C-alpha cells in the first residue's frame, strides 16, 4: 500500500475510528491514542490490503480489538457515562423542562450503557453510524444473521426499558 492510498483511504476514516474507540473506552485521550495506534497497525499490516473487501470495516475491527485489549490488559475503569449527562446542551427550554429532559436522557444513557457490549456496539453502529448489516458483521467478525438477531434483541431490550420509563418513570 502506498502512502497516497493510506492518506486517501485510511486517514479520512480516523474520526469514525475515534468515535468507536471513545464509545468503548469512555475516555477522550485514550480514544485518541487508540485511534493513532490503529492507524499505525493498519500501516504495518499493509500487505493484507489487496485481499480486503471493506477497508473501513477492517480499520474499525482493528480499533475495536485494540480498545478491548486495553480494557482487558489494564483492568480499565470505564468512565461512568452518567458523568457526561451534564453536558447536554441547555438552550431553548425552561430550567424545569431541561431538568426533565436531562433526567430522561440519563435514563436512556443508562439503558444503553447497561446493555451487553455486543448489543450496545451493534445498536451504536447501526443507529448512530448508519452501517449496513454486512458492514457490522465485518467489523465485529460475526455472521450477518447474528447481527440481525442481536440487533433485534438489543432493540427489544431497550424498548422494554423505555416502556418502564414511560409507564412507571423507572
Partner 1 sequence: MDYNHIIALLDRYWEGETTLEEEALLRRFFSEPHADMPEPLQEAAPLFGFFREEIEQEQALEERLPEPRLPAEASPARVVPLSPFRHWMKYAAVLLMAVGMGYAMKQHQRQETKVHIAEIRQQKEEEETRMAYLETKKALQLLAKNLNKGTEKMQKLAYFNEATGLITGTN
Residues near partner 1 (CB under 8 A) are: 3, 6-7, 11, 14-15, 18-19, 22-23, 28, 31-32, 35-36, 39-40, 43, 84, 87-89, 101, 104-105, 107-109, 112, 126-128, 130, 132, 148, 151-152, 155-156, 158-159, 162-163, 165-166
Minimum distance from residue 28 beta carbon to partner 1 (Å): 6
Residue for cell digits 464509545?
23
Nearer to partner 1, 72 or 79 (CB): 79
Minimum distance from residue 24 beta carbon to partner 1 (Å): 13
Nearer to partner 1, 50 or 75 (CB): 50
User: Measured in whole angstroms, how far is the alpha carbon of residue 78 from the centre of its chain?
Assistant: 14
In terms of Cα–Cα distance, which of 131, 143, 127, 123 is closest to 59?
131
Question: What is the rounded distance in angstroms from the CA atom of residue 80 to the CA atom of residue 16?
Answer: 22
DSSP 74: T
Minimum distance from residue 69 beta carbon to partner 1 (Å): 20
Minimum distance from residue 129 beta carbon to partner 1 (Å): 9
Nearer to partner 1, 71 or 165 (CB): 165
Minimum distance from residue 70 beta carbon to partner 1 (Å): 18
Nearer to partner 1, 72 or 164 (CB): 164
Question: What is the rounded distance in angstroms from the CA atom of residue 154 to the CA atom of residue 169?
Answer: 21
**Which residues make Cβ contacts (< 8 Å) with residue 147, sequence separation at least 6?**
122, 133, 136, 137, 140
Nearer to partner 1, 88 or 99 (CB): 88
DSSP 2: -
Q: Are 131 and 147 in contact (CB under 8 A)?
A: no
Question: What is the rounded distance in angstroms from the CA atom of residue 93 to the CA atom of residue 95?
Answer: 6
Amino acid at each position: 500500500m502506498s502512502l497516497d492510498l493510506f492518506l486517501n483511504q485510511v486517514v479520512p476514516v480516523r474520526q469514525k475510528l475515534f468515535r468507536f474507540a471513545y464509545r468503548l473506552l469512555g475516555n477522550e485521550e485514550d480514544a485518541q491514542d487508540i485511534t493513532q495506534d490503529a492507524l499505525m497497525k493498519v500501516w504495518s499490516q499493509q500487505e493484507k490490503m489487496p485481499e480486503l473487501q471493506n477497508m473501513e470495516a477492517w480499520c474499525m475491527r482493528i480499533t475495536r480489538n485494540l480498545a478491548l485489549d486495553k480494557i482487558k490488559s489494564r483492568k480499565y475503569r470505564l468512565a461512568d457515562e452518567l458523568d457526561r449527562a451534564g453536558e447536554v446542551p441547555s438552550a431553548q427550554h425552561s430550567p424545569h423542562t431541561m431538568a426533565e429532559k436531562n433526567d430522561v436522557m440519563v435514563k436512556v444513557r443508562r439503558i444503553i450503557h447497561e446493555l451487553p457490549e455486543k448489543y450496545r456496539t451493534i445498536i451504536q453502529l447501526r443507529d448512530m453510524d448508519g452501517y449496513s448489516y454486512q458492514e457490522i458483521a465485518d467489523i465485529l467478525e460475526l455472521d450477518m444473521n447474528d447481527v440481525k438477531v442481536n440487533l433485534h434483541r438489543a432493540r427489544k431490550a431497550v424498548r422494554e426499558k423505555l416502556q418502564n420509563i414511560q409507564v412507571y418513570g423507572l
